Structure 1
Amino acid sequence: MATPALYACTKCNQRFPFEELSQGQQLCKECRIAHPIVKCTYCRTEFQQESKTNTICKKCAQNVKQFGTPKPCQYCNIIAAFIGTKCQRCTNSEKKYGPPQTCEQCKQQCAFDRKEEGRRKVDGKLLCWLCTLSYRRVLQKTKEQRKGLGSSHSNTSSLSDKEHRHHHRHSSSHHKVWIKVMSSFFFFVHSHKSSSIQKETPKKKPKLEDSSVAQSMDSGGTDNFILISQLKEEVMSLKRMLQQRDQTILEKDRKLTELKADFQYQESNMRVKMNNMEKAHKEAMEQQQVRHLYTHCHQLSLGDNGCDRQHVARIVPKIQTSRKRIHVHVVGQLNLV
């Protein structure tokens, strides 16, 4: 017997049969467990994980060193916008296919119309990049499930044929008298076994369904991880917006307090000016009254007119009191100065 051909693993360089290696990167079982295929936390592309702590691909690691932590893309919301507000995938697609359109699955405006070539792979639907990946994953799983169901059905049919042939050979070795009896008996046995096989097949289906559910749970876990990372970024952006709004509110409060203080200062200055103007007006009115009284006294003091000297004696004390008031007011103003 010729030994089967052995092929080297691309990671550990050990030789294994071709069936034991993975289809894509030709890895053995141990390397697949030690270095699983995971999705990058930033660009969401699949890559071979070299260490358990490594969660981003080499390209994103290089971009982080060069440009810093990325921001969420304004189209697809993937945290991969290292330059500007759009990721490299969306910028290239926009240059090639035009502005984005609404995705039929996630209802976000991040799907690019790739015409007939791109829609053939997703049954003519207009989907974004993440939705196309999940849709292809679901299609691949359904194809694998159909293949598994077809192979199980063919195995059950081949087993029933072998049993029928065995029973036929065994019955032909007996006597001719017992042919009819044994044929009926084996027919009953065959029908009973076929019915038991049919009853057992539904029991096998839940296992396949459980495996499909587990696979869908794995894919759902990765999708949930994407959603969690997106929600975390949204929460961080909302916190930043709240901090900015709090800062603007504080600045506005400061401006309001400054304006209130300025208004109070101006109001106090206006009151002081009004009081000074009232005092000056009173002084001017008193001075005018004094002048008027002086002229009146001068006219009365003249003897030609024959005026009454008693009237002059009444007016003179008023003039003196007004002079005293003016003197006291002037002294008070000088003390204030």
Structure 2
Amino acid sequence: MPAPLLKKCFNCRMFLTEDAVNLSQCLKCQKNEAKYGKPGTCEYCKLNAAFHDQKCVWCSHAERKFGSPFTCFNCKLRCAFPRRECDKMEGAALLCRLCILQARQTNQTMVAGIPVPPEKPERSGEGSSSEHRDRDRDRRNNQSSSSHQQKDNNRREDRRQRDRESSRRSGQKRRHPDETNNNSSNGASSSGVPPLLPNNENGHGFPPFAERDHGESMVKQQKMEDEIRRLKSLVQEKEMQIFDKDRQISTLKAEQYNIEKKHRERVQQLIKEKEDSIRAIEHMRSSKSSKKN
């Protein structure tokens, strides 16, 4: 099955699972669309996920549980619901659900000077969200990759230690027969040519092969880690831009919906005024004809 084109649902902006059949909608939005039809724009968070009563599922549930929303300190939309009694006042430092999700995705602890609330522990059952499952899966993958990397480093260190010991033993074996042939060495020294002295512990004038290979692999690994960090920061940048574009699109859709609604109301008002005028004219005509008779 191909991977989802979007990491989040087009309607509610929740994370899509890897086994999602629809590549742009989550399972909950698919069920709601099949039950209620095409969604409208939520009057609070401006997402295209209002399947019933012009509110999305999250805003409707939060309104029933916590009361009327207040203005989000970050995005300035009236979609931040106070969870504590001390926050139920105008101007309180609150964050909406979307800003909290975006901050958790980018591992931010502060947004607009407000601390991001920590995630609740995932409950077993149907209530666990796909976002928590994805985050736990990423955490397990990072832990396993770090443990594998530690094992690889330990193996390389052991191999390097064995190579050093073997090269030291081989150097000692080579030096032992050289001591029995002192005549040849004395002849070389008497001829004025200095003997070749090893400048490494393996008895050769160049570093051991294992050390060279280990150094090259460390350089390559450092380059790859730097490239991964750069790509991760680039992906986070792009996701922030996509999030801002989605919010702008939702705001424009909400404005277009309000304009069309006002236009329809104005047209209905004009039609009603026209019908009232026609009735008044007919009444005047009927009254004049009755007076003539």
Query: TM-score normalised to the size of structure 1?
Result: 0.46
Task: State the match for 2:53 in structure 1.
Answer: 84
Q: Give the Cα separation in 1 of the matches to 2:76 and 2:216.
A: 49
Q: Give the Cα separation in 2 of the matches to 1:61 and 1:128.
A: 24
Deviations 1:39-92 (A, max 9, x none): 43323333543256xx44454344445544332222211222233232221122
Task: State the match for 2:228 in structure 1.
Answer: 208
1:185–1:135: structure 2 CA closer, same or farther, 3 Å change rule? farther
For residue 172 of structure 1, report the CA deviation from its aligned partner: 1.0
For residue 163 of structure 1, report the CA deviation from its aligned partner: 1.7
Structure 1, unaligned runs of 5 or more = 1-30, 116-124, 259-337
Structure 2, unaligned runs of 5 or more = 85-92, 108-134, 177-196, 278-293
Work out whether residues 63 and 69 of structure 2, in 8 Å CA contact, stay in contact via their aligned partners in 1: yes
Q: Give the Cα separation in 1 of the matches to 2:60 and 2:160.
A: 64
Higher helix share: 1
Q: Letter of the aligned partner of 2:103 in structure 1?
A: Y
For residue 205 of structure 1, report the CA deviation from its aligned partner: 1.5
Correspondent of 2:75 among 106, 126, 138: 106
Identify which of structures 1 and 2 has the higher relative contact order when contacts are C-alpha pairs closer than 8 Å and 6+ apart: 2
1:1-337 pair list within 5 angstroms = 31=1, 33=2, 39-45=8-14, 46=16, 48-51=19-22, 55-114=24-83, 127-139=95-107, 140=135, 148=145, 152=149, 155-156=152-153, 158-175=155-172, 178=175, 181=198, 182-183=200-201, 188-189=207-208, 195-209=215-229, 211-213=231-233, 215-216=235-236, 219-220=239-240, 223=243, 226-227=246-247, 229-231=249-251, 233-234=253-254, 236-237=256-257, 239-240=259-260, 243=263
Question: Percent same amino acid at aligned positions?
Answer: 22
1:41–1:35: structure 2 CA closer, same or farther, 3 Å change rule? closer
Q: Give the Cα separation in 1 of the matches to 2:96 and 2:51.
A: 20
Work out whether residues 167 and 202 of structure 2, in 8 Å CA contact, stay in contact via their aligned partners in 1: no
1:110–1:34: structure 2 CA closer, same or farther, 3 Å change rule? closer
Secondary structure, aligned partner of 2:45:
coil
Q: Give the Cα separation in 1 of the matches to 2:3 and 2:157.
A: 42
Task: State the match for 2:128 in structure 1.
Answer: none
Work out whether residues 72 and 85 of structure 1, in 8 Å CA contact, stay in contact via their aligned partners in 2: yes
Q: Letter of the aligned partner of 1:199 in structure 2?
A: V
Work out whether residues 41 and 226 of structure 1, in 8 Å CA contact, stay in contact via their aligned partners in 2: no
Compare CA radii of gyration and give the structure with the larger one. Answer: 1
Q: Letter of the aligned partner of 1:109 in structure 2?
A: R
Q: Give the Cα separation in 2 of the matches to 1:152 and 1:209.
A: 17
Q: Letter of the aligned partner of 1:206 in structure 2?
A: D
For residue 99 of structure 1, report the CA deviation from its aligned partner: 3.3
Q: Give the Cα separation in 2 of the matches to 1:36 and 1:155.
A: 35
For residue 126 of structure 1, report the CA deviation from its aligned partner: 5.1
Task: State the match for 2:285 in structure 1.
Answer: none
Runs of 4+ in structure 1 deviating by more than 6 angstroms, as ranges, are: 34-37, 144-147
Work out whether residues 103 and 127 of structure 1, in 8 Å CA contact, stay in contact via their aligned partners in 2: yes
1:72–1:51: structure 2 CA closer, same or farther, 3 Å change rule? closer
Query: TM-score normalised to the size of structure 2?
Result: 0.51
